[in-house]
Amino acid sequence: MPAGVWITAGFFAAGGVLHLGATLHELPRPLALWAVWGAVGRALLSLLLAWGLWRRIALCRSVAMVYCLAVLTTDAVVLGLAFAHAPVRFPDSIVWESLYEVPSCALLLPYLRSSRASALFPRPLIGH
C-alpha cells in the first residue's frame, strides 16, 4: 500500500476515534443514549471516509479535500475571533481535535490536490 493512501486513511480513522473519545469524555453523566448515538455516528462518518480512502475511491479523495479546507477555514475564523478577544468559549474536545486536525490538514490538503494523489485514488464510486 502506498504511503499516501495509508497516511490519509489513517488520519481520518484516527480523527474518528479521537472525536469519539473526546466527545464521550465531555458528555455529562449519566450518559444519554441520543448523545452517545450522535458521537458514534459522527465518528463513523470519519471511519467510512477512511475506508473509502483505503479502497482508493476518487470521491473520497474529493470529500477529504473539502473536509481539510473546511477545517482550515473554520479554524482561521476561530483564531480571528480569539485575536479579536471575542467572548466565546469552546469545549475542550474542539480544542483537542483542532490540535490534531489543523496541522494534519495543512499537510494533507496540498498532497490531496496533487497529481500524485490523483493517480493514487482513481477508482469510481460505482463500478470497478
Query: Do the Cβ atoms of 69 and 46 come closer than 8 Å?
Result: no
Answer whether residue 125 is part of any domain. no
Answer whether residue 126 is part of any domain. no
pLDDT at residue 97 in the model: 85
What's the number of domains the chain is made of? Answer: 1
**pLDDT above 70 (res 128):** no
Place of cell 499537510: 107
**pLDDT above 80 (res 11):** yes
DSSP 73: H
Does residue 123 sit in helix, strand or coil? strand
pLDDT at residue 50 in the model: 97
DSSP 84: T
Structural domain boundaries, residue 64: 3-120
Answer whether residue 128 is part of any domain. no
Mind listing the pLDDT tens digit for each residue in 83-97?
Answer: 888 887 777 788 888
Q: Which three cell numbers stand for residue 22?
A: 473526546
Answer whether residue 127 is part of any domain. no
Outline where 27-88 has alpha helix (H): 33-54, 58-83
How far is 61 from 119, CA to CA, in rounded Å? 11
